[in-house]
Amino acid sequence: MLFLGIQYFNNLNNKELHIKNMVCDRCIISVREILQRNNIVFLNISLGTIELQSDMDPDQIEELQNEFKQVGFEILSEKNERIVKQIKAIILKEIFDADSNSHQNLSVTLKENLHFDYSHLSSIFSKTEGKSIQTYQNELKIERIKELLEYDELSISEIADKLGFGSAAYLSTQFKKITGTTPSKYKISKKNRNTLDTF
CATH of the domain at 48: 3.30.70.100
How far apart (Å, rounded) are the C-alpha atoms in residues 149 and 190?
A: 8
For the purposes of burial, counting CB atoms within 10 Å of the CB of 27, is it exposed (0-12), middle (13-18) or buried (19 or more)? buried
In a domain, 3, yes or no: no
Q: Supply the pLDDT for residue 8.
A: 33
Give the domain extent around 170.
81-198
**Claim to verify: residue 28 and residue 96 sit in the same structural domain:** no
d(CA 12, CA 46): 14
CA–CA dist 197, 199 (Å, integer) = 5
Domain C-terminal end among 52, 77, 102: 77
Total structural domains in the chain?
A: 2
pLDDT of 24 = 84
DSSP code of residue 49:
E
- Reading the chain (199 residues) residue by residue, the pLDDT tens digits are 333 333 333 333 457 888 888 888 889 999 999 999 999 999 999 888 899 988 887 788 888 989 999 999 988 767 788 899 899 999 988 888 755 555 678 999 999 999 889 998 999 899 888 999 999 999 999 999 999 998 889 999 999 998 888 899 999 999 999 999 999 999 888 666 665 556 6
Which of the listed residues 46, 62, 77 is the one where a domain comes to its end? 77
* pLDDT at residue 164 in the model: 86
- 40 and 52 in contact (C-beta within 8 Å)? yes
**Amino acid 61: pLDDT:** 84
66 with 90, same domain: the answer is: no
> Residue 64's closest CA among 55, 74, 52?
74
The answer on 115 and 176 residing in a single domain is: yes
Cβ atoms 33, 64 nearer than 8 A: no
Which residue type is seen at 59? D
The C-alpha atoms of residue 110 and residue 83 are separated, in whole angstroms, by: 10
Report the relative pairing of strands 49-52 and 42-46 from DSSP bridges: antiparallel
Q: Is residue 166 part of a domain?
A: yes
pTM above the 0.85 mark? no
